[in-house]
Every structure is written in structure tokens, then in C-alpha cells.
Chain A
Amino acid sequence: KNQVEQSPQSLIILEGKNCTLQCNYTVSPFSNLRWYKQDTGRGPVSLTIMTFSENTKSNGRYTATLDADTKQSSLHITASQLSDSASYICVVSPGREYGNKLVFGAGTILRVKS
């Protein structure tokens, strides 16, 4: 069964600190992996998209890594800010053979406190 598992479920960090969120997936075949940020009560916003051949991708203070061999990805947030408080969702696309239907993780809820 195609699944995306994220850890931890929730995380609290102090403003200015770094953190890393984890994503493990069993989706096969694999086309690409995405990280989204979702503020409470809002729609998700894309942070990064990585294909099989990409190991790392950055978007400002957000850096995503991908190990397609072990089927793991991480999202590293540097110098956290209060505005980083949100749910971070890992999403895997199995590709056209599966109608391009995305498989979503349940998300990691991050709270940055001052």
C-alpha cells in the first residue's frame, strides 16, 4: 500500500533554533516528492519539489533532502521564526501510471515559541 509517514507528529522549538522533519514513504513507482507548508485554517503552499535525481533543494531557510534508495526525505528549517509555526506536509507523486494522484502524509505540526 502506498503510504507516507511523517515524524515527529508535533514539535515545539525556540525561535532562532534549527529543526529537521522526517518523511518516509513506501510509494512505488516514484515520480517526485514535495513539501508543503500549511498555516492553520489555510490551504497548503508548496515549498519544494524534488525528482528522483535530486538529493537536495533549498527555498530560503528551508532545505529538503531526498534519498530515493532508502525512500526517505527530510525538511530542515534554519534559524526558525515565529511565522514558521505551521503544519509541514510531505507529499509523494507516483506518476502518470497512477493518474498522478498524490499521496499525502499526515503532517508535522511545528510550533515556534519566543
Chain B
Amino acid sequence: DGGITQSPKYLFRKEGQNVTLSCEQNLNHDAMYWYRQDPGQGLRLIYYSQIVNDFQKGDIAEGYSVSREKKESFPLTVTSAQKNPTAFYLCASSISSGSYNEQFFGPGTRLTVL
């Protein structure tokens, strides 16, 4: 898991609620990423940030929002607009967004909609 922490480990949400997943890194990495993992599928990119105060949509950004006010923090909000939010969410970081740079992953947050 390196120097990346995610909280909480498990999260339960009622339909219609927004929830925020925390991701913090102490690796001094510029780039941070949010992925969603569903059974039998590869990880899919939700949002990524190459530098503080900047972020880009990934392949499945609808129903999600992020902020990058500090280098070490990249919180993800799952809004009520996300129709099927139950999944395993993974945060990652890398030194930069260079193509060879290794991405280090956090331990994940499992979100369940009740």
C-alpha cells in the first residue's frame, strides 16, 4: 500500500446520498488517480490529477466529482447522480503522469448502496 491511505475501508450509503471517499499520500507525488473496480472487469479510470488545483475526467466520470486543493489529498465524492455506485474504489499516485512512472495504489474503499 506504500504511503497511500484511503478511508473508510467500508462505506454504506443510502440511495440519494452523496458520500466522500478520502485519499491521502505522503510520497510527494504530483499525480493522483481514482479508479473503480467491479467483479470480472478491469479497473476503470474515474478522474486523475497531474498537479494541484488541476484534474481531468477519466473514462467514467459521470456521477463523480473530485478536488485537488493540496498535493497530498485527492478526495472523491460519489453523488446521487451515480446510478450504480456499489463497487471497490482505488486511489493511486505516481511521481508524475509520465508513461513509465509506476502507480502506487491505496488499500481501497468498498462502497455499498443500501
Contacts and interface: CB of A to CB of B under 8 A. Distances in A.
A44 to B, nearest CB: 5
Contact of B100 (A4, A32, A43): A32
Interface string B20-48: 00000000000000000000111111001
Contacts of B43: 44, 89, 102, 104
B5 to A, nearest CB: 11
Interface string A75-103: 00000000000000100011110011111
Interface of B: 1, 4, 40-45, 48, 56, 58-59, 88, 90, 92, 97-108, 110
Contacts of B41: 106
Interface stretch (A13-21, A45-53, A57-65): A45-53
A32 B110 contact: no
Contacts of A51: 100
Contact of A43 (B42, B97, B98, B106): B106
Nearest to A87: B37
Contacts of A96: 97-99
A101 B9 CA distance: 25
Given A43-B90, A103-B42, A93 B99 contact: yes
A60 B98 CA distance: 26
B100 to A, nearest CB: 6
